[in-house]
Amino acid sequence: MRKIALIGIILPFLVVSCTKEDGELFDNSATSPAYSNSILEEVWSTQLEFLPGESDYLRGSLVVEDLLLLSTYRSLVAFSLQSGEQLWTFEKPFEFVLGIEKDATIIGDQIYFIDKSNCRSGILVLDKNTGQLKDNVILHELPGVEGFCLVAYRAGNKVYFTTEKANVAPGDIHNRSFFINRYDLQSENVHQLYHNDLTFSNSIKLMPVMNEDQQRLYLHYTTSDSGKYFVHLVEVLLSGDEAELVFSEQMEEQSNSRINWEPFAVKDQHLIANFDRGNSYSIKGYDLSNEGEVIWKQPRLPGGLFSGSTTSYIPHMHMGELYLRSDNNFEKREYQTGATIYSEYLFGYRKRSIGFLPDQPIGFATQSGNAEKLALFDLQTGNFLVVLDLEKIGVDADYFINSASTYDNGKKLVVSTSEGRVVSFDLPF
């Protein structure tokens, strides 16, 4: 954030050179954002060239240093973030499937590309300048690794990944072994950090979560005993080889779901756990420094569409603050107490489309329906900054915005649509 203005009753808000008059409060409605589309000035735009015969659908995008990487069903395509020029296209092997949870890093002149939620595909190593394939590291085939890869998380030049194997019969989901491993991208050394020889099949793959201090990683696994199910959390210190069990809890008995945890978040020694619709609580806060004591919880009350009580939350830590995403609302909470700071009604904006611009107190959300839009909003207040219509960037309303990210130290925004349209804007706030 480069400028701060005091608006109304000393409410912090991101401002631009054309600020509103002193004392005028910003409208809190997505239909009346603070600024019009015209405040976003286009830097460059381009259209992805899909491979012949390929479905014209973009699966995702990723900003890595000075490159924008676009993923389709059959290819990875690199663009220059400075000019929008398409630099190279890599046609993926058919066995390499890319999902939503993507990550990449550049070491020297090589790009290491991994799908965190589908790490059986391995790590693609490409030449940064040409896109030529240099290697495809299959993590569960590395020496000393047992079982098959479940999920992975890159921290710096190291990849932490979980594996699972059947102890007796492949179909016995109650008798599995679970492992946490670490792979060094530079030295290519692999090390086993943790294992449990009697676990329940981790068919629900929760992504590992990094603590806000960027020094501790949390990975989960499950166990079963006499019809009861338990979730366990392992803390891995990134500075060494230490990994220890820091949390265990019995799950509620349900007919529709054995293990009902969904995405979770950790800050300091506070764990924020999300539960699916079958659980009596939608979200809980735990104190990991006190044996996982429950310090706050929110019951799942019966209610209708607009109550927010019949759905689960997705917790996310961004710049030290806790945000919750549900089907209808976007909320900012106190992570120590669960107290609501604000709740913004986001009807028409998809829960899993809500994201955060890196290193900035700005959120974004894409809207589904006939009028496809991208909204940017101030995370400090929940107020909408600007709502971008697809027509603004010359795209028919049949397509939706696939992803958004910032580059150039947060000064520019790059937006991609499902049909491969890419536009870069100057961010004035």
User: In the structure encoding, which two tokens stand for residue 130, read together?
Assistant: 């040409």
Which residues lie below 8 Å from residue 52, measured CB to CB, with a gap of 6+?
A: none
Residue of 102, 88, 47, 93 whose CA lies nearest to 74: 93
pTM > 0.75: yes or no: yes
CA atoms within 13 A on the CB side of 413: 23
Q: How far are the Cα atoms of 231, 234, 319, 365 from residue 295, in angstroms, in the given order?
A: 18, 20, 22, 30
Residue of 393, 346, 394 whose CA lies nearest to 369: 346
pLDDT per residue rounded down to tens, the chain (429 residues): 333 332 232 223 333 333 333 323 334 455 678 888 788 889 999 998 888 877 777 877 889 999 999 988 888 899 999 999 999 999 876 555 555 568 899 999 999 998 888 788 889 999 999 999 999 999 999 999 999 999 999 999 999 999 999 998 888 888 899 999 999 999 999 999 999 999 988 766 778 999 988 899 999 999 988 888 888 999 999 998 889 999 998 887 653 445 567 789 999 999 999 887 667 788 899 999 998 999 999 887 655 444 444 456 789 999 999 999 876 678 999 999 999 999 887 655 655 567 888 888 998 887 655 447 788 889 998 888 988 876 766 666 556 666 788 899 888 999 888 888 899 999 887
Which residues lie below 8 Å from residue 160, measured CB to CB, with a gap of 6+?
A: 152, 153, 154, 180, 181, 182, 183, 193, 208, 217, 219, 236
Where does 35-168 have alpha helices with state H? none
Residue of 332, 329, 271 whose CA lies nearest to 296: 271
- For the chain, what percentages of helix, strand and coil (3-state, to nearest 5) are there? 5, 50, 45
Reduce the DSSP state of residue 428 to 3 states and report it.
coil
Do residues 158 and 238 lie in contact, with contact meaning Cβ atoms separated by under 8 Å? yes
Residue of 244, 199, 243, 195 whose CA lies nearest to 225: 199
Q: How far apart (Å, rounded) are the C-alpha atoms in residues 27 and 247?
A: 43
Provide the β-strand partners of residue 223. Answer: 230
Do residues 40 and 386 lie in contact, with contact meaning Cβ atoms separated by under 8 Å? yes
Q: How far apart (Å, rounded) are the C-alpha atoms in residues 138 and 150?
A: 12
Do residues 360 and 348 lie in contact, with contact meaning Cβ atoms separated by under 8 Å? no
